[in-house]
Amino acid sequence: MKFDIFFSLSHTRVGDHLPTEVQMFQNFFDQVEAADRLGYETAWLAEAHLSSDVQKRNRHPVIPHWEGEVGLMTDFMQVAHHIFKRTQRIECGAAIMNILCNGGPIAAAERVAAFANLHGLDPDEHRRIHVGFAGGRFEYQNRPYGICPRTPVEEAAWPVLKRMIFQEAAEIFCRLLRGDVISSDDIQPTVLRREDFRSDEQWQGVLEAAGTSSETVEIDRRFEFEELSIIPKDWRRDLVQLIAGSHDPKTQEALNKILPVQVFNLSITQPDIIENTHQRLAAAYHPSGGAWKRSYMPRTTFVFVNAQSHLSPEEQRAAAHEEAQLALGEYWKALEGTLDPAKVEKAAKNALIGNPADIVEQAKERFHPDDRLMLWFDFFNHDSDRVIQNMEDFMNLVAPQLRETD
């Protein structure tokens, strides 16, 4: 079993405490340096764009009850340079880089190449960046860059079309990173079909908007360009691993015809989807990446561990559950404005909560010995010393017992 760590850099009030932005980054670098010392393999960074606080003033606020910012890390590449300067062993991962905003997939591919070129100037450098990429969690981050419906047909098809725009962008992104010279004419066209939609009513709405009864509706390309390639060209491709933030089988398999592209897994993903993904990618994973491994799909999970020596095991367990309930409750209040005990309970079932012995037992029940866990310690917790202590307790008291089962 492999152990990574996830950092949210979520700038929101927890209880009565709201750190400054400077303190948030100071805490983050303290924590990532501790993760390096402790032996976590990859530090995954949440990416965010544009102020979620200001977005609350818009006509359609996405998270109107969230106080502060969902995240502060806007440029994974810049932060990764700082992480590598401050650490010795740990690798860096983007969780997840939005390839639709900030110039789209062409600009994103060039940023990756530029980073790898600088990072790889030292011939002895071996630490990689794991570039998780997707279309962004919140639509408001993409709309200023033109990623919005352009016609009544696109408006009617938008829930499906958003996914297809990402597929178009992902193909461009991966082909440019492979070193291809391409134009937009080389990219798979976007064609809507009945099977793409959940209901006949949705599909009929698209046909009516298009003024047709055809079995297909083709959508104009989102990214139009003549032949191009990115620069630099001769960069260390061994220092970059791609991970798609999509559980769409067609997208996963299409991208793996271009390059080895691994897959992200959320803590809420159902077990049958996880196992199905492993089975499919065992056959579909790009051959230049070698045989598919379970560790190629990192699994995120909250961790609330309490190993305080002055408490009994039962008291540690109770304290950990109290911390989890408070953090998860604050999260749902921030998202929806109210506390829903059922949602808190459901989220708790996907978390690792308790004393070290509890965590070991839960992890053995929930995860395969070959899984890679992306552990989230800073969830609604600005007490950096306590976050680091929890990181230490997991790696010193939990990880050794889980590795014994490998």
Tell me which DSSP letter residue 256 carries.
T
Looking at the DSSP assignment, which residues form a beta bridge with residue 299? 265, 373
What's residue 267's pLDDT?
58
What pLDDT is recorded for position 247? 87
Q: How many CB atoms lie within 10 A of CB 36?
A: 18
Say which DSSP state 181 is in. -
Copy the structure tokens of residue 126.
Answer: 């071996």
DSSP letters of 257-287? Answer: TTS-EEE-B-TTS-HHHHHHHHHHHHHHS-G
Per-residue pLDDT of the chain (406 residues; tens, 9 = 90+): 999 999 999 999 888 889 999 999 999 999 999 999 999 999 999 999 999 999 999 999 988 988 899 999 999 999 999 999 999 999 999 999 999 999 999 999 999 999 999 999 999 999 999 999 999 989 999 999 999 999 999 999 999 999 999 999 999 999 999 999 999 999 999 999 999 999 999 999 999 999 999 999 999 999 999 999 999 999 999 999 999 999 899 999 999 999 999 998 765 677 888 999 999 999 999 999 999 999 999 999 999 999 999 999 999 999 999 999 888 888 877 777 665 667 666 767 779 999 999 999 999 999 999 999 999 999 999 999 999 999 999 999 999 999 875 5
Q: State the pLDDT at residue 405.
A: 59
Vertex 204: Cα angle to 200 and 206 (nearest 5): 125
DSSP letter string over 191-222? Answer: EEEGGGSSSHHHHHHHHHHHT---SEEEE--S
CB–CB of 338/321 below 8 Å? no
Residue with token string 């082909």 = 175
pLDDT value of position 283: 97
- For residues 188 and 280, give the distance between their C-alpha atoms in angstroms, rounded to a whole number: 22
Q: 170 — phi, psi (to 5°)? A: -65, -35
For every residue of 315-349, DSSP letters joined together read HHHHHHHHHHHHHHHHHHHHHHSS--HHHHHHHHH
User: In this structure, is the dihedral angle defined by the CA atoms of residues 249, 251, 252 and 258, taken in order, positive or negative?
Assistant: positive
What's the pLDDT score for residue 298? 94
In sequence order, what are the residues at sequence separation of 6 or more whose Cβ sits closer than 8 angstroms to the Cβ of residue 349?
none
Pairing of β 91-98 and β 129-134: parallel
CA–CA distance, 353 with 359 (Å, rounded to integer): 6
Give the burial string for 190-220 (b: 16+ CB within 10 Å, else e). bebeeebbeeeeebebbbebbeeeeeebebe
For residue 28 the two structure tokens come to 């983050």
